[in-house]
Amino acid sequence: MRKATVVLVGFLALVSTAHAGADYRPGGTGDVTATSPLPGALDAFYPPAADRPVYLFKMLGLETSFSGIVVDLMEDDLKGARESFEDFQRQYREIAAMVPEWKGEYPEGKVKDLGEALATGDKGHAMDAFAAVGEVCHRCHVATMVPVQQKYHWGDFRTITVKDPLSGESTGYPQFKKVMAANLAGITVDLRQGQTDNARKQFEGFRARFEALGDSCQGCHEKPSRYFVDPEMRATVEELGVVFKSRTVAADEAMALAQKIGRESCSKCHLVHVPAALAGASRR
């Protein structure tokens, strides 16, 4: 029972984020890996071709029935476990037919074994069979979950535009970020060169663009961002502004604050978004 419970926890952790992302050798065709191109047929089940992520929702429905099997077994409800299995098997076959290129990754053998184990009424045997099916699911998720998320969840960052508050023109997101990064680096560069007025101008450019950056997050995020451009980081930017308002700018303090912004906002935001943006672009 413990083995099946562990598999269930791992299975839930994977499918709750999406159907998708290392090598996969589960007993299907064995040719699906994390570097394999995603099947073209999958496009039909995600926006913009579909009005919602159909394949993901199908997988979540499959997970509910699959989890129901072990939940019922833990409750000593064999009848319920068999009913959950029937629903799982039906959905499993339905999803296997949706994407022809992946049909071989839905082997019937382990599923059949699970049905037979449930029919015997042997709870321990059924739990072991459940764990075996869970391993099939898990290995496919390891191979495909991340690529699917990169392509269908993250979208294409190159399509995002931001209105530059200094030029007043809409510019591509990558270009906007490069200019803003130059502003932030310029603060330290100019201060090191003793060019306080230039450093102040670089800060003003960065501050204006940092505010615009926060607004751009709404293009993907339905709720206000809690990180990277949150009130705490905005307060750090304003703290840097106070330093530059002084008649004699404390260069060391200004550079330390600029480095903090780069470390706590820019760098951490990049850790989250850049891998997905680059990997997603390579899959389009």
Q: Please answer whether residues 215 and 165 qualify as being in contact, where contact means their C-beta atoms are separated by less than 8 angstroms.
A: no
Q: Which residues of the chain have pLDDT under 70?
A: 1-35, 225, 280-284
Number of domains into which the chain is organized: 2
Please give the model's pTM, rounded to 2 decimal places: 0.67
Identify whether residues 30 and 101 lie together within a single domain: yes
Identify whether residues 175 and 278 lie together within a single domain: yes
Q: Give residue 156's pLDDT.
A: 77
Identify whether residues 146 and 190 lie together within a single domain: no
Supply the range of the domain harboring residue 177.
157-282
Identify whether residues 238 and 126 lie together within a single domain: no
Identify whether residues 118 and 234 lie together within a single domain: no
Closest CA to 157 of 218, 211, 220: 220
Given 107, 127, 153, the domain boundary residue is 153
Q: Give residue 33's pLDDT.
A: 59
The amino acid present at 53, given as its one-letter code, is P
pLDDT, tens digit, 9 for 90 and up, residues 153-192: 877 778 888 999 999 999 998 899 999 999 999 999 999 9
Q: Give residue 146's pLDDT.
A: 86
Q: Give residue 9's pLDDT.
A: 40
